[in-house]
Amino acid sequence: MTKVFITGASGFIAQHIIKLLLARNYEIIGTVRTKAKGELLRSCLSPTDKFTYEIVSDIAEPGAFDHALKKNPGITYVFHAASPCFFETTDPEHDILIPAIRGTENILSAIVKYQPEVQRVVLTSSDAAIYSNEDEINSKLSFNESNWNNTKYEDALNDGITAYYCAKALAEKYAWEFMLKNIPSFGLVAINPVYVFGPQAYGVPENLNASNELFTKLLNLGPDEKFDNEMGGFIDVRDIASAHVFAIDSKEAVGRRLLVSNGQYSAQMILDIINKHFPQLNLPKGNEGTGEYDTMNLARVNNSATRKLLNRRFNSLENIVVDTVSQLLDSRKNSKAHL
């Protein structure tokens, strides 16, 4: 039986990856920060006997993954999805930069030491590793899979957003440098998603992931309230999970960065879709129909190489919004136990 190891198993993207892997009847070992998270996740899965968890409370601790990998021999694939994904912090270095970079260091070194049978490592990186938060909003610039965010460590210490972007770049750079220096037996693939939206795999948590928090903000608006018209690239979490699984199947993916995006969104575009399909919510209209013009202020993104390799039709923004909002509204009605 194929055995898979996934870090940050209770995370938004990781749960969707696990769902796909369970459908393949793979045996999955996931890391979580607490026993409570592990038990709750396990209770949501089917079949439950294909999933076990190991507690890794701090991915930045030296040797953080050593015990978990040493304890579970015969792993074929590793997904490293554990990394801080938030912006609000008073200590960006401790909360974001150090865990992201050291977590990547720890998982790769542990694989080399304890898992000689691993064939593929898939790193959940980000478009933040491709451009800085400042370059992303510069309409004069254009980016593709070959570009790098070159923000310096010392320049990322003052705010959470810059720290997040820099941390993703430095963590991924470390991974590729590790491959060149150590020449391990496994291949590496980096998945670089933009903002990841979509429904939850196994129930709605009390606090949504950073991207989906936008939906909470919009759904809580009064009919005449103003809103921050934030914008960026978008992709469905189900497309991202499929890209991760594709990365363990495809020899052509080895050594590549997959910039997974289906275009650009603005909060106005999302609000237009919500108002179209859920008029009973009586949300503000804003400047209807202008959202696509707003995104002209963003840098251009060309991920044609990734699209050609994946050969997959990505889910539209409209479908993402409808599925996500429907789930959130159902959750509010049912108030069941959530992850």
- Please give the radius of gyration of the chain, using alpha carbons only, rounded to the nearest integer: 20
- The first and second tokens of residue 73, run together, are 């021999």
Element (H, E) at 266: strand 264-266
pLDDT of residue 309: 98
Average pLDDT, the chain: 95
- For the chain, percent of residues with pLDDT exceeding 70: 99
Strand extents, DSSP E, 27-138: 27-32, 51-55, 77-80, 120-124
What CA–CA distance (Å, rounded) separates 125 from 275? 33
Instruction: Specify the length of the chain in residues.
Output: 339
CA distances, 281 to each of 4, 204, 241, 325, 326 (Å) = 42, 20, 31, 11, 12
Helix/strand/coil (H/E/C) assignment for every residue in 106-156: HHHHHHHHHCCCCCEEEEECCHHHCCCCCHHHCCCCEECCCCCCCCCHHHH
What CA–CA distance (Å, rounded) separates 64 from 137? 36
Confidence of residue 76 (pLDDT cuts 50, 70, 90): very high
What CA–CA distance (Å, rounded) separates 121 from 189? 6
| CATH superfamily name and code, 3-194+236-261 | NAD(P)-binding Rossmann-like Domain (3.40.50.720)
On the question of pLDDT at 47 being above 80, the answer is: no
- In which order are the strands placed within the sheet that holds 231-236? 195-197, 231-236, 264-266
- What residues does 163 pair with on adjacent strands? none
Measure CA 64 to chain center.
21
Least confident of 212-216, 234-238, 334-338: 334-338
pLDDT of residue 335: 60
Angle, vertex CA 293, rays to CA 290 and CA 298, nearest 5: 135
The stretch 169-192 carries a mean pLDDT of 98
The stretch 113-119 carries a mean pLDDT of 97
pLDDT of residue 46: 80
For the packed helices 12-23 and 237-249, what is the interaxial angle rounded to 10 degrees?
50
On the question of pLDDT at 199 being above 70, the answer is: yes
What CA–CA distance (Å, rounded) separates 31 from 4? 11
Confidence of residue 254 (pLDDT cuts 50, 70, 90): very high
pLDDT of residue 332: 84
For the question of whether the overall pTM of this predicted structure is more than 0.75, the answer is yes
